């Protein structure tokens, strides 16, 4: 009987320690979620009648932003207009579209519906493939472009 009581006390003590340790464990850090617009007013950007719009929201102090803009500018054509929206020069557009991280790149159709987006750096291959896919679905093989956000 003494062994049973000792075992019961030990089990209770271990359970109490486990409860205290569980309560002391810090919560997992929250993950930041950044805003990406789902609709743009084409009148806010150059050549609103152009079928496709690529907008890169940037900051002059962001080194990665310049690289993303350079990759996007290669897409500029009669069918695709590329616009850089730098936060200091055009803070109103950053605020209007809720941009809280740069670089943010969006690909919008003629109606301003954002069809593809990228937060942070993007490879030229992934960017060009994403634009090709939204312009002409089925361009990419299954499992094509690996980075960027899903279509909206």
What pLDDT, in 10s, does the model give residues 22-54?
A: 777 676 777 778 899 999 999 999 999 999 999
Q: How many helices (H) and strands (E) does the chain have?
A: 4, 4
CA distance 49 to 135: 15
pLDDT at residue 117 greater than cutoff 80: yes
Q: pTM for the full model?
A: 0.74
Q: Read off the pLDDT band of 149 (50, 70, 90).
A: very low
Q: How confident is the model at residue 142 (pLDDT cuts 50, 70, 90)?
A: low
Q: Between 3.90.1010.10, 3.30.420.40, 3.30.110.70, 3.40.30.10, what CATH number should domain 42-135 receive?
A: 3.40.30.10
pLDDT, residue 143, reads 58
The predicted pLDDT at position 148 comes to: 47
Cβ neighbours around 39 below 10 Å, total: 13
Q: Residue 12 has what pLDDT?
A: 80
Cβ atoms 126, 147 nearer than 8 A: yes
- Is 62 in contact with 33 (CB distance < 8 Å)? no
Lowest mean pLDDT among 59-68, 71-80, 90-99, 135-144: 135-144
């Amino acid at each position: 009987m003494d062994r049973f009581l000792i075992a019961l006390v030990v089990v209770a003590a271990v359970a109490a320690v486990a409860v205290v340790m569980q309560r002391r464990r810090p919560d997992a850090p929250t993950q930041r979620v950044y805003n990406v617009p789902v609709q743009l007013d084409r009148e806010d950007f150059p050549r609103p009648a152009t079928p496709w719009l690529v907008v890169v929201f940037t900051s002059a102090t962001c080194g990665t932003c310049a690289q993303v803009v350079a990759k996007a500018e290669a897409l500029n054509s009669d069918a695709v207009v590329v616009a850089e929206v730098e936060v200091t020069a055009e803070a109103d557009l950053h605020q209007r579209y809720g941009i809280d991280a740069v670089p943010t790149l969006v690909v919008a159709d003629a109606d301003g519906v954002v069809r593809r987006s990228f937060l942070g750096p993007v490879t030229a291959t992934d960017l060009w493939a994403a634009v090709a896919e939204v312009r002409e679905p089925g361009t990419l093989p299954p499992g094509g472009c690996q980075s960027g956000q899903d279509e909206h």
